[in-house]
Structures are given as structure tokens and as C-alpha cells.
Amino acid sequence: MIEDRLKAELAEIAAAGLTRRRRVLETPCGRLATVDGQTLLNFASNDYLGLAGDADLARALAGGALTWGAGSGASHLVSGHLTPHETLENALAAFTGFPRALTFSTGYLANLAVTPTLAGRGDAVFADKLNHASLIDAMQLAKANGAEVNRYPHNDVAALERMLSASTARTKVIVTDSVFSMDGDLAPLPALFELAERFDAWLVIDDAHAFGVLGPHGEGSLAHFNLPASPRILLMGTLGKAAGVGGAFVAGSALAIDYLLNTGRAYIFTTAAPPATACALSASLERIRSGDTLRRQLFANIARLRDGLAGLPWTLMPSATAIQPLIVGDNNAALALAKALWERGLWVPAIRPPTVPKGTARLRISVSAAHTAADIDQLVSTLKELA
């Protein structure tokens, strides 16, 4: 039968403790989530500033839909680029310090547009081994276009330098997350930028988990490290995490963005996101810009959690960001711990291979500015009880 292989592979996935299931929320995204009639404290979302359920953003979305309709009707380059899209792109460029920005429906799509557009036959990509799956897929697309692909050990600047030095590629492209989504640590962007300058390489940065959170006003990782909006940098940021809505953008020089607009297949051949989404995102950007209080609350929550979890039998990764991974190791043990927390009213997802390396199954604790000190204390005390 045609489905026999699929059935067998799913059975293998289940036996390895790797089956994935969706949960259906009965309430909007927020610090509390109701699932199957049970209300839980939500440590599972990337809603770092607590904006996903914000009433003002919801009103901006609704008002945008009433004014501009439900959909864009076409790709940006045909007839789907409406005034709210243009307004948002201009605002994102100004906020990040770059001359121009392009918006995309998802961060995954944005990443698929950038690297394969910059690198083809005769070129070389240099990618961190712990990059997000979307960056890995983008790298594979570049490889299919004829680019040479190199993966350097996680955050190993010396190894990357050796690779760049040995390369005779026409164009070199360094690709990295700024905040790594499963470990929560930061890329050494100042050192990577220095290498990009020295070896005349592009530096492509996925700022998904830094945009809205890091930097003096949430501008992202470049502002955090006081790095310039250089013409050799292309910065991708997602807008469904700290920004609380959805979509993504790529910011860069006017020339690089024009090149991406003209040659990036994932941009050219995609219907533009609804204009109402752009209306909500413009409102969100203002909230991020003035969100110092939210960021202070977020980092106070992170510090409180880390202090509370010290000394547990599981390894808390050295992360200073909203992503706090607690390494359990075994797949089934991680699932069992997540289940025990669930039964006690706490939603903390277990992350297993292939998302993370074998033997490093973990709880991925996502902290939000919406969490209270009591929420953090409840999670800490429950984990101590289970330990």
C-alpha cells in the first residue's frame, strides 16, 4: 500500500519519543492559556513583550481590515503592495537604521529569499551549525544553485576565520542567528562583522529572537552590540514574536534591497500579506519603540528565573535572553517532565531531536514581560518539587 512506508516511519518516530502533537488553544495568546478546558501558565510562546493579545494592536488590525479589506490580492510586484505595506517598510528601515526594508509573510520565507539570492555558482556560504532550520534550508537552496556550503562549529570564530581565509569564492556569505532559538545564547556579532569586513563578505543575520527585545529601544542585536547598519549586512527580523503580530522583514542597503526585490524568488512569487497586518505592525512598532518598561520587566523575570533554578539536577544553559533551556537529556524523560508540569498547570514544551542534538532533549522555557514574579516563582517551586 502506498501509505505503508509512512505508517512505518511514524511508528519509528513514536518509538523514539519524537511524535509531535498540536495543542488547540481556546483563548488568545497570553500568560494564561486554556487547552481542553484546563487553564495553564504559558511558558511556551515567543510573545516576549506580551503584545500578541494586546487590545490596541487588535483594534489596529480590525481597523486596517475595515479600511483596506481582508487581503492584498496579489504579490507585491504585481498589485499587492498597498500603502500600509509601504508605511511599515519605511518605519522598519528607520527603526533599524537601514536605508530600506522589505516585508515578508513569514521569517522562514524571508530567510529562503536572502541566502540563495546572494550565493550561487562560484560563491560560498559559511553558516553556524546551530542556525535555525529556515537558514539551513536557505543554505541548501544556495547549494542547489551551485554555491559551496561550509558549516562552522557553533560560535567558533577561529574556525570561521580559517574557512574564510582558505576560500577562493567570488562572493562569501556569513549566515548566523543573532539569538539561537534553542540555546538562547548570542552570536559573537562584533567578531563576525570584523571577519566580514576583512574578507569582504556579506553578513546575513536572523534577528528573530532579538528584534523588539535587545537594543536600547528594542532595535535588535546590532543596536545591542553597537554595530553599524553596514551595507554588507542584511538583517532579517520576524514580527510574530516580540512584535506580537506576524510576518517578517529584511533590512539592508538600498542597493541590496533592490537586488533582493528583483531577484529573490521567495519575495517575487508570493502574495503579499494582508494590509491589515501591516497596520497592526505599525502600531506594534510604536509599542516596541516606547517599550522600555516591558523590556525591564522581561529581563527582571529572566534574572528571577535563573536565580531560582540554580542547583537543580538538570543543566540550565548559559542564556541571558528570554529563551531559557533546561537540558534533561533523554527524550522520554523530557516528555515526562513536561507532562508533570502540565498536570500542575504549567505549559513548558519539551524539545527533542532533530530540533536539538541527540542526547540534549530539553524544556524550552520562554519568558515574557507578561509573566508576574508569582508566575516565575510557581514554575521554580514546581521544578524543585519535581527534582
Residues classed as catalytic: 181, 209, 241
C-alpha 79: how far from its chain's center? 29
Q: Which of 70, 74, 94, 144 is nearest to 289 (CA)?
A: 94
Q: Which of 52, 129, 137, 108 is nearest to 250 (CA)?
A: 108
Three-class DSSP category at 169: coil
Provide the edge-to-edge strand list for the sheet that holds 38-42: 32-35, 38-42, 346-347
d(Cα 249, Cα 285) in Å, to the nearest integer?
13
| Consecutive H or E run containing 214 | none
Q: What angle do CA 31, 35, 40 make, to 5 degrees?
A: 40
In degrees and rounded to multiples of 5, residue 2 shows phi and psi of -65, -25
Contact call for residues 309 and 303 (beta carbons, < 8 A): no
Q: Which three cell numbers stand for residue 191?
A: 567578531
What are the Cα distances from residue 341, in Å, to 39, 42, 46, 148? 13, 11, 19, 45
Q: Which of 204, 278, 207 is nearest to 238 (CA)?
A: 207
Compute the residue count for the chain. Answer: 387
Cis peptide before 190 (omega within 30 of 0): no
Provide the edge-to-edge strand list for the sheet that holds 124-128: 100-104, 248-252, 233-238, 202-206, 172-177, 124-128, 148-152
Three-class DSSP category at 75: strand
